[in-house]
Amino acid sequence: MERRMFLGALGASAKAADICGCGIAPQVAAATGVEPFATVGSKIRITKVKVFGVSLTPDSDRPYVFVKLETNQPGLYGWGEGTLEGKAAAVMACVEDFKDFLIGADPMQVEHHWQSMYVHSFYRAGPVIGSAISGIDQALWDIRGKALNLPVYKLLGGPVDPRGVRGYYHIRARGKEDLPRIREEARRQGITCFKGGIPGYYEWIETNAKINQAIQAVTDLREGLGMEVDIGIDFHAKTSPSVASILVKELEPLKLLFIEEPCPPENVKAMQRIAKRSTTPIATGERLVAAYGCRELIEMGVVDIIQTDINHVGGITALWKAGALAEASGIAMAPHACEGPIGGLATIHVDAAMPNFLVQEICSGIDIGPNEKVWHEWLGFPAMRMVNGRFPLTEKPGLGFDLTEEALKKYPFGGTRPMARVFHEDASVAEW
């Protein structure tokens, strides 16, 4: 190496160490783009980026992907979640790729890091990159809240409602005869909203018998739960525009809170056709990435409710922007959340500060299941369980929880597993 190059390298290393401003901090190479902020940012620096795959069962198709960012300040670290169903290992590898964007950087500059990860990836984020960014972004906000000694929802300007965040559970009935029990338990717990679905899989043009079966299933839910409970029905993009148009019209008398994903969300014009034929609010968005992914749906007035998922859309930063974009157009937010507890808790912080928030999903039933028991074991409190129909707001800084790496070792990563693959009777691929 030439003498001039050698001295230049030494000088760069010295500058990186100076940026840290912490005598006991490990010396870490600064991420590209850090130097211009040395005099205006904090003295906190990211020293490690860790990613964990966590499988509650060895054959799970949605092992959790947790991200931990450590800093040069003792005891200051942040957790986030980037769980992506069926693609866990890909997201974990993508988080590793982003280390060069973060090591040595100031974690307080959340927006700067979000822009860098999104824009400097060059190819615009799909679900893998979006989920990796989501996990990192949540961890950055967790650090930010802890450093400023405030819960994240207060950093965002909340709460809008001091009672907490209204939520809903999924209907997990053991047949039609179980609905009265669920109705009574909901009344006892103060639960005011549930979500169900339509049975089976649907061809592009369906038989009357199949359509009538779907209508009867939703009618049974309404009769079993009563009119005082709000009900959303998820079509899960299983229906074509023609079948969905029939169903939304037939289901209007049941006064549903919303119909979700009546067709694949990327088919915006088809969604528009369906929406024009229904007075029931239309919801979609769990598969969308970044606020940009919502823009066309919002601009065209196609939907009434956006359901972006904090673990895929790009974290707290992106969910907040999607909410602001929707709010300006008179559209409500009901975020999707069907993964692990970190993303769920992070979502509540954003909900609590959104003026156009409607209701928060959690993929749990009214009865406590095995997943919730593990979450309680990890976090020390019943995470994502409602009290009087609402998720309580924490006063703890950051995202309001602590989690140890040791606690995760009981559930080692079982590898990526494909999501369900379903087919019609003729062996053609079915939406599910």
Q: pLDDT-derived band of residue 30, with 50, 70 and 90 as boundaries?
A: low
pLDDT score at 122: 86
Domain 154-396 CATH (choose: 3.30.379.10, 3.20.20.120, 3.40.640.10, 3.40.50.800): 3.20.20.120
Look over the chain and give the mean of its residue pLDDT values, rounded to a whole number. 90
Beta-carbon contacts of residue 340 (< 8 Å; ≥ 6 apart): 54, 64, 66, 81, 83, 311, 375
Helical residues (DSSP H) of 194-338, grouped into ranges:
208-225, 241-250, 268-276, 295-299, 315-327
As a dihedral over the C-alpha atoms of residue 203, residue 196, residue 373, residue 191, rounded to 10 degrees, the angle is: 170
Going by pLDDT thresholds of 50, 70 and 90, the confidence category of residue 18 is very low
Active site residues: 236, 336
pLDDT at res. 24:
40
57: Cβ–Cβ under 8 A, 6 or more apart, which residues? 414
Q: What are phi and psi of 272, to 5 degrees?
A: -65, -40
Which fold is adopted by the domain 3-149?
Answer: Enolase-like; domain 1 (3.30.390)
Q: How far apart are CA 327 and CA 306, in angstroms?
A: 10
DSSP 174: S
> Are the CB atoms for 323 and 333 separated by under 8 Å?
yes
Give 47-73 pLDDT, tens digit per residue: 999 999 999 998 888 899 999 999 999
Q: Which run of H or E residues covers position 139?
A: helix 127-148
Would you say residue 4 has pLDDT above 50? Answer: no
Q: Which of 274, 281, 174, 168 is nearest to 229 (CA)?
A: 168
- Please state, in angstroms and rounded to a whole number, the distance separating the CA atoms of residues 19 and 12: 11
Q: What angle do CA 103, 48, 125 make, to 5 degrees?
A: 60
- What is the per-residue pLDDT across 125-174, written as a single tens digit (0 to 9) for each? 899 999 999 999 999 999 999 999 999 999 999 999 999 999 999 999 88
Higher local confidence (pLDDT), 130 or 38: 130
Q: What is the mean pLDDT of residues 235-262?
A: 95
pLDDT given at position 40: 86
Report how far residue 130's alpha carbon sits from residue 142's, in angstroms, rounded to the nearest whole number: 18
Same CATH topology for 3-149 and 154-396: the answer is no
Residue 19 has a pLDDT of: 36
Are 375 and 56 within 8 A, CB to CB?
no
Name the residue with higher pLDDT: 111 or 41: 111
Q: Is the dihedral of CA 347, 351, 356, 357 positive or negative?
A: positive
Tokens 């999707």 belong to which residue? Answer: 336
Omega before 281 within 30 of 0, i.e. cis: no
d(CA 7, CA 332): 57
> What ranges do the domains of the chain cover?
3-149, 154-396
- The first and second tokens of residue 355, run together, are 């003026």
pLDDT tens digits for range 250-264: 999 999 999 999 988
Mean pLDDT of 418-422: 86
pLDDT of residue 59: 87
Q: How far apart are alpha carbons 268 and 331 in whole angstroms?
A: 16
pLDDT per position as a tens digit, 99-127: 999 999 999 999 999 999 999 898 888 99
Task: Give the pLDDT of residue 418.
Answer: 85
